[in-house]
Structure 1
């Protein structure tokens, strides 16, 4: 068999010298959306006002590596727009899905002298059993935007795909801050996949922060039901 293969290769030099197939270049995903409040870690980044967001993300052919940029409207330190760039790695380890990423955020046109940028590190560990998925999240920044300095966020989430288009999820987390209020936050809600591209989410967000601790009309920590629409292309 070896002799026959060698003879065939010598008889067909053009086939023997063919170039290897091209390596897949990866793919892009683009997303846009809007919601009645910009909630992050169960507190408002838009002082209870509606917001819009968008992102562009590139993933490697095997889906393990990704990078991109994003924006969202906020109300923070005089800024109404936050922009970011991010990169991450999604390996699988012993049956668990991991998502490890770093993100650099900027507040556009923030007040003069305000600390308008921050690095945010995120580590997710996920495991699915049938229609149920559990996720543990750890987030940390050594120096937050504005007056905030280092903070850490711990969160546990569980979700259930009731049907191919309808899912429920709930999460509870704790935020520890060097400058700012330490609090526990939680959310519960449902997501409706309207199509392959569109999702509608309804969710209640709340914290254990007493309303008397808010400043003026600040609605940062107040509980609120949020409705959001997302589209991906």
Structure 2
């Protein structure tokens, strides 16, 4: 069992011991979603729309600690891949003051050329804690054993910090390490500020960079503005 799988299993085990009151409280379906637009699409600190804008939409249905989700966004990866669909099943809850979540997602690269490995499963686990000062500390691990394209194992480990300033303003940042087989590892970072225009409407200005500019333009620094509307 590799180190990434061990962390995933640890998160799953933690949910096994959640108190019954957490697991069974208010068992009704709750629906939510969001739509968003960004000056450029970025995933795991790397550009995914080659300097073009991005539109995305997502919906989620939660029943107690279990949630189902679906999302769609445009991409520009090479001459063909133009979108990505995601279908997610997961669980979330609290344990000893920590917010825990774990999910598995089936993801599809749209309009992929013949022979391209466009379908893959990705697992994500997060542990977070919000302090009385309004500071949130977060550790997220994203892992797949069969990444799209020529890659195979892909693990993205990120530590993030967010600070609420007031009812409108917040700042956040994160550092991450990504390990990919065949080897094309890099470290990344982002830092930005968000402003809540309305309770479910926000605008975010964020700077991204990696330590591997030699990998190509997608790995170079960039400034991205994004607007999100929840419902």
Instruction: State the secondary structure of the residue aligned to 1:220.
Output: helix
Between stretches 180-189 and 166-175, larger displacement belongs to 180-189
- Give the 3-state SS of the residue equivalent to 1:186 in structure 2: strand
Residue 67 (structure 2) pairs with residue 66 (structure 1): yes
Equivalent residue in structure 2 for 1:115, among 106, 114, 117: 117
Q: 1:139 aligns with which of 131, 139, 142?
A: 142
Q: 1: distance between equivalents of 2:100 and 2:28?
A: 22
For residues 65-84 of structure 1, the aligned pairs below 5 Å read: 65-76=66-77, 78-84=80-86
Determine if the alignment matches structure 1 residue 184 to structure 2 residue 223: no
- Partner of 2:206, secondary structure, is strand
Corresponding residue number in structure 2 for 1:95: 97
Aligned length: 204
SS of residue matched to 1:110: coil
Query: Could you give the per-residue CA deviations for residues 143-177 of structure 1, whole angstroms, max 9, x where no partner exists?
Result: 11111211111110000000011100010000000
CA–CA separation in structure 2 for the residues paired with 1:67 and 1:24: 14
The SS at the match of 2:141 is: strand
Q: How far apart, in 2, do the equivalents of 1:74 and 1:139 lie?
A: 20
Q: CA RMSD in A?
A: 1.3
| 3-state SS of paired residue (1:49) | coil
Aligned to 2:48: 45
Cα distance between partner residues in 1 of 2:201 and 2:73: 18
- Listed one character per residue, the Cα deviations across residues 167-192 of structure 1 (whole Å, up to 9, x for unaligned) are 00010000000025200000000111
Offset, 1:24 = 5.2
Query: Match for residue 4 of structure 1?
Result: none
The answer for unaligned runs of 5 or more in structure 1 is 1-22
Q: 2:200 aligns with which of 197, 200, 209?
A: 197
Q: Secondary structure at the match of 1:80?
A: strand
Look up the match of 1:11.
none
Quick check: 1:166 aligned with 2:169?
Answer: yes
Match of 1:105 among 104, 107, 112: 107
Partner of 1:226: 224
- Unaligned 5+ segments in structure 2 are 1-25
Structure with greater Cα Rg = 1
